[in-house]
């Protein structure tokens, strides 16, 4: 029997997440948006059924699985806040893995991770919770990703690097092997990171340089 699930967010990222959900395992009961404005509208044939305020009631009705479909590039902490709220209610935060993702059997996952089309995660990698591995991103061998990280489209982390929580690696960015990136870092799109990066910084360019503190 399929498990019932809600998707959080009704934007472009949610569309890709909905496409990636295994419908033989999960039945998507609906989408929760920021507010009730668009109730009844469809996103990839799935109706918006309410807002975050409805999550607890839905859980008690037996819809016990959830996935966050917000990429929300403007606020990196929002996904974490929502994740913690849903966990507190009791939701099972599902790992969504698109069928075209290539994942070594020797990868460890937490929960609530979203692994999108044509990604590669190689042997020995460890992922915490609530991470986005966006379309075409490559996570090389023995990389450690903490929690609430967003590896944007086509980004690459080479072997044995370590990424701190809440960090965002922009589209097409590359982190070479053995690098340590702190928490709450933003790496600009297309950057090449060749040195360790301190927490709470914004870093851009090739080679990437810290341009400001957050
Ligand atoms: O607190 C919230 C909340 N805040 C925004 N709770 C819930 N349940 N939903 C929230 N939202 C909703 O997230 C908005 O109402 C909207 O439906 C959605 C954000 O949509 P948007 O298209 O603006 O962004 P996105 O996060 O889906 O996609 C961004 O990030 C992706 C990674 C875009 O920049 C994409 O281009 C990018 N690929």
pLDDT band of 154, cuts 50, 70, 90: very high
Q: What is the mean pLDDT of residues 133-143?
A: 98
Which residue has the CA at smallest separation from atom 21 of ligand 1? 11
Using an 8 Å Cβ cutoff, are 139 and 158 in contact? no
Find, among 174, 168, 140, the residue nearest to 154 by Cα. 174
Which residue has the CA at smallest separation from atom 12 of ligand 1? 9
Atom of ligand 1 nearest to the CA of 150: 32
Mean pLDDT for all residues in the chain = 97
141 is an active site residue: yes
Which residue has the CA at smallest separation from atom 4 of ligand 1? 34
Residue 198 CA to ligand 1 center (angstroms) comes to 28
| List 13, 141, 150, 162, catalytic entry | 141
Residue 83 CA to ligand 1 center (angstroms) comes to 14
pLDDT band of 83, cuts 50, 70, 90: very high
Residue 166 CA to ligand 1 center (angstroms) comes to 17
Residue 76 CA to ligand 1 center (angstroms) comes to 11
Is 85 near ligand 1, meaning CB less than 6 Å away? no
Query: How high is the pLDDT of residue 74?
Result: 75
Q: Which residue from 54, 70, 170 has its CB within 8 A of the most atoms of ligand 1, so it is best to mutate?
A: 70
Using an 8 Å Cβ cutoff, are 167 and 181 in contact? yes
Indicate if the pLDDT at residue 72 is higher than 80.
no
pTM listed for this prediction: 0.97
């Amino acid at each position: 029997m399929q498990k019932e699930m809600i998707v959080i967010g009704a934007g472009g990222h949610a569309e890709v997440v909905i496409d990636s959900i295994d419908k033989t395992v999960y039945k998507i009961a609906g989408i929760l948006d920021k507010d009730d404005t668009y109730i009844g509208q469809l996103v990839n044939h799935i109706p918006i059924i309410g807002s975050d305020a409805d999550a607890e009631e839905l859980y008690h009705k037996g819809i016990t699985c959830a996935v966050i479909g917000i990429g929300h590039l403007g606020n990196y902490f929002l996904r974490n806040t929502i994740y913690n709220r849903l966990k507190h209610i009791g939701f099972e935060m599902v790992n969504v893995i698109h069928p075209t993702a290539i994942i070594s059997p020797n990868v460890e996952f937490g929960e609530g991770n979203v692994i999108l089309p044509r990604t590669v995660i190689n042997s020995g990698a460890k992922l915490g919770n609530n991470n986005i591995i966006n379309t075409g991103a490559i996570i090389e061998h023995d990389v450690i990703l903490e929690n609430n990280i967003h590896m944007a489209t086509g980004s690459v982390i080479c072997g044995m690097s370590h990424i701190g929580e809440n960090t965002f690696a922009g589209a097409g960015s590359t982190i070479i092997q053995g690098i340590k990136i702190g928490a709450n870092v933003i790496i600009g799109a297309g950057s090449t990171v060749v040195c360790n990066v301190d927490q709470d910084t914004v870093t851009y360019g090739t080679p990437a340089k810290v341009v400001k503190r957050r």
